[in-house]
Each structure stands twice: as C-alpha cells, then as structure tokens.
Amino acid sequence: MGVPVAGAGDELAEWITGTSPTKEMKKLVMEWAGNDPNKKSLALVAMYGVPALAGVDFSRNIGLGDLVPTNGFQGPTISTIQNVYKSIPRP
C-alpha cells in the first residue's frame, strides 16, 4: 500500500484480528482475476504498479522504517557501524 502509515495500521489490524486486511484484499483481487491473463495483469498493476508486469516488485523496498531512525535514533547505518565496532574482540 502506498499510503503513509498504512503498513502500521495493517500490522495493528492483523495483531488485533489475526488477519491482514492488505493480504486479504490481494487474495480477493487475485481470486477475481482467476485464470484470465488480462485480469491477472490488471490486478498486478493495481497492486504493485506497472513494473509488476516485468516481475519487479518495489512495494517493500522503501518504507517509513527506512526514513525514521528506530535503532537508538541514529539510523540503520550508524547503528550497524556501532554494532560492528562493539563486536570486535578487545585484548
């Protein structure tokens, strides 16, 4: 879903109900498409964008977690460097 905070809302709904609204919607769309190649293409474009026709899925590449630092408020790169530094054995 390309809506900000939609992922968090989807996870909250899944935690409460045990079912992901996004996954259920995708299942319904693919059921609607059935075995019709034209409908399948339309469903893939609706869910993942035009690159999906070539088998490319950018939907999970960039998200709010990539923009907002959540690991010590330093961001993933700085935290990774710190973790590597801390893991080096010292005499």
Q: Residues of the chain with pLDDT > 90: what percent?
A: 10
Q: Is the pLDDT of residue 11 over 60?
A: yes
pLDDT tens by residue, 51-88:
777 777 666 555 555 455 555 555 566 777 777 778 88
Q: Work out the mean pLDDT of the chain and round it to a whole number.
A: 75
Please check whether residue 74 is in contact with residue 80, taking contact to mean a CB–CB distance below 8 angstroms: no
Q: What share of the chain is helix, strand, coil (3-state, %, to 5)?
A: 65, 0, 35
